Structure 1
Amino acid sequence: MEKATVLVVDDTPENIDILVGILGDEYKVKVAIDGPKALAIAGKSAPDIILLDVMMPGMNGYEVCKRLKQEPLTAHIPVIFVTALTDVADETQGFELGAVDYITKPVSAPVVKARVKTHLSLYDQKRLLEQEVKARTRELEVTRLEIIRRLGRAAEYKDNETGMHVIRMSHYARLLAREAGMSEHFCELIYNASPMHDIGKIGTPDAILKKPAKLDDEEWREMQRHAEIGAEIIGEHPDPMLEMARRIALTHHEKWDGSGYPKGLSGEEIPIEGRIVAIADVFDALTSIRPYKQAWSVEDTLALIDREAGKHFDPELVSHFKAIVDEAVKIRDSHQDKE
């Protein structure tokens, strides 16, 4: 088992020698003779614990501790002050800055060993707990995302689509968002939220969804309701991904010129995620085989999307989509529908 690393900080060489002598057999000990050197060492390779003298010239121990706690890389490291100061006010100041303990000079070897061992044990337990929490949180996130994707696929199956449609179009949406200069956080959100774009079709009667003939006006109005039904199914929730999923479900059939549904929004009134998914959805729908149609060629599909720039689609996003279409085709080819 690898030895824990202790950083000893003291401006007096004799004090450093004493602590190295006490701890050297059980731990890997690093030393610093002033505050700036201690910060440099800790910032380069974080030790497991720091024994820090208070009274040092230039930058005292309190300032060193304060700076350690301000940096994410070193904020978690337990700091034990080693000092001749025994006033309650001094100890209070140290604890307020984030120190975990005090050892008074002259030091006692058994006390130093016991305090270091105790706080390293507590630190190890804390790190283990944090790792377990992160792992469990990640498991919950994966489960949540899988449920969202499968709900999206359920809607597609109901509409005689294949489940791979929502996988492909979510990849296209992420590619397009990235090409449009959106943040990586936004790109991941749209990738995970877009599979629910047509979840509202769960509430659309099969007789309408699967009607082989053209829908009459009343049937078409009922079909259009799936956007609002989808928003109702997702509901209002503070989670950023679910918020985005709701906006996508509600707006991905809106059109740039205001002729879309359900609200007749136009231009930038339509949320950017709705505009992105509109292109991704149409591209995949047209380039895929369906029971009622053959797949369009990429060239014909791009020609239609280009003609619809400024009418159905955001013209700037159309330009960005043409720049990433080769990547989109690779995604389509690697996520083919199963026979």
Structure 2
Amino acid sequence: MPEAKRPTVLVVDDVAENIQILGDTLRNEYAVLAAKSGEKALETAARSLPDLILLDVMMPDMDGFETCRRMKQNKALKDIPVIFVTALTDAVNEAKGFAVGGVDYITKPVSPPIVRARVATHIRLRATETRLRDTLQKTLAGAVSLFMDLLILSNPVAYSRASRLKHYVKLMLPHLDRPGAWQFELAAMFSQVGCLSIPPDILQDIYAGRSVEDSDRVLFDLHPQAGCELVGRIPNLESVAAIIARQEDDPCSCSEHEKGESETVALGACVLRTILAYDRLVTSGQDREMALGQLKANTGEYESEVVAALEKGLQTDEWSMKPRKVFASLLMPGYILQTDAVSSQGKLLLKAGTELSAPMIHSLQRIAANACLEEPLAVLTPE
């Protein structure tokens, strides 16, 4: 087998003879690395990312249990299987090894056939887990792409809003150090898929706070549950679907998980409600400080931790929305219409609040080229 395709095994032991024995046992099938201390093991593992680690327990300065514990705290190393190699075979030490993240034990003095069998088993298990994870990621990526394609084709108004919400959540995530926070970004991306059946002009009126027919309002009010049902059909996105279902709930309380709901869902719903409110404010023309000020003032509506995370994220943002007047030739994707775009004959082309995509801009520029567009256009642009 070519060396480059061999799985890598890191052998950690403070006794050179033990490293030699294990190396000789495995070298025909694996690329073998060695470390003679826990500190060196952490450095070598971080640099080479081996497929498996054989770890001695009894080492000076940092024993194998502590070394394993630190590995499992490292995001890059936590999924690498660790097999303890030790003469400590009592139940207490075995339980301790499993508690810190070990997957198996090999007793000293080692038996080469047993070493090869145990290593091969866990290498295969890890390869299978990796393939399953890759398959899931590809399936999820395909589902995301399908939903987004449907949304941008059938309802660009809803797609524009979902894109902005995703952007805000990405800014917030570094300041929300919670397990499962990655699901908040997916919830923002999928938050508007329930609007697929709502006509874009009706949806634009609702987003802008204009009055609509009662039947249209009822349809909009049902969109979170419709989105939940659609997203809930994707495997492993049950929590994301639950967040979407609660995006318009009121008031926001992150303590609601105590009633039987997961903390991730409660906080995710709070995040989504907060950025929806922020988006409504900035697309109506308010600047960042005014919009944040309103959120802070409504302490009964929006959780202070979430508003603080949004504020911190926005401070690192490369852009904020600034009102400008521009001609069609200078339009860029991401600009948001502050007023309706109308033809020179007064025909409505795009409603205020629409985030401009490349196809929309191309159409407006073609109309402007024939002197049939009222210019300049009032837009919100990233600074």
2:58·2:64 contact (CA, 8 Å) conserved in 1? yes
Q: Residues 149, 118 of structure 1: CA spacing in aligned structure 2 closer, same or farther, 3 A cutoff?
A: same
Q: Normalized per residue, which structure has more helix?
A: 1
Query: Which residue number corresponds to residue 286 of structure 1?
Result: 340
Distance 2:91 2:336 in 1: 71
Confirm or deny that 1:112 pairs with 2:137: no
Q: Alpha-carbon deviation of 1:88? A: 2.3
In the alignment, residue 333 of structure 1 is paired with which amino acid? I
Distance 2:117 2:196 in 1: 62
Q: Alpha-carbon deviation of 1:203? A: 12
Deviation digits for residues 82-102 of structure 1, max 9, x if unmatched?
112222222222122221211
In the alignment, residue 183 of structure 1 is paired with which amino acid? M
Distance 2:105 2:126 in 1: 16
Q: Alpha-carbon deviation of 1:188? A: 7.8
Confirm or deny that 1:15 pairs with 2:69: no
Q: Alpha-carbon deviation of 1:174? A: 6.1
- Greater mean alpha carbon deviation, residues 6-15 or residues 40-49: 40-49
1:199·1:230 contact (CA, 8 Å) conserved in 2? no
1:165·1:284 contact (CA, 8 Å) conserved in 2? no
Distance 2:144 2:51 in 1: 30
Query: Which residue number corresponds to residue 231 of structure 2?
Result: none
SS of alignment partner, residue 183 of structure 1 = helix
Q: Residues 101, 197 of structure 1: CA spacing in aligned structure 2 closer, same or farther, 3 A cutoff?
A: closer
CA RMSD of aligned residues (A): 4.4
Aligned length: 262
Q: Alpha-carbon deviation of 1:67? A: 1.2
Distance 1:134 1:26 in 2: 30
Confirm or deny that 1:76 pairs with 2:76: no
Question: What is the aligned counterpart of 1:230 among 203, 220, 228?
Answer: 220
Q: Residues 98, 6 of structure 1: CA spacing in aligned structure 2 closer, same or farther, 3 A cutoff?
A: same
Distance 1:104 1:284 in 2: 72
Return the TM-score normalized by structure 1: 0.61
Q: Alpha-carbon deviation of 1:199? A: 5.4
Q: For residues 177-192 of structure 1, what are the structure 2 equivalents within 5 Å?
A: 183=172
Deviation digits for residues 130-151 of structure 1, max 9, x if unmatched?
111222222233334444455x
Query: Which residue number corresponds to residue 256 of structure 2?
Result: none
Deviation digits for residues 68-119 of structure 1, max 9, x if unmatched?
1122211111111111222222222212222121111111221111111111
Distance 1:172 1:134 in 2: 20
Structure of higher CA gyration radius: 1
Unaligned runs of at least 5 residues, structure 2: 174-181, 229-240, 250-273, 286-333, 368-383
SS of alignment partner, residue 52 of structure 1 = strand
What is the percent sequence identity of the aligned residues? 29
Distance 1:110 1:64 in 2: 26
Query: Which residue number corresponds to residue 85 of structure 1?
Result: 88
2:68·2:102 contact (CA, 8 Å) conserved in 1? yes
1:171·1:331 contact (CA, 8 Å) conserved in 2? no
1:198·1:226 contact (CA, 8 Å) conserved in 2? no
Query: Which residue number corresponds to residue 278 of structure 2?
Result: 272
Return the TM-score normalized by structure 2: 0.55
Q: For residues 296-335 of structure 1, what are the structure 2 equivalents within 5 Å?
A: 332-334=360-362
2:162·2:190 contact (CA, 8 Å) conserved in 1? no
Q: Residues 291, 183 of structure 1: CA spacing in aligned structure 2 closer, same or farther, 3 A cutoff?
A: farther
1:10·1:34 contact (CA, 8 Å) conserved in 2? yes
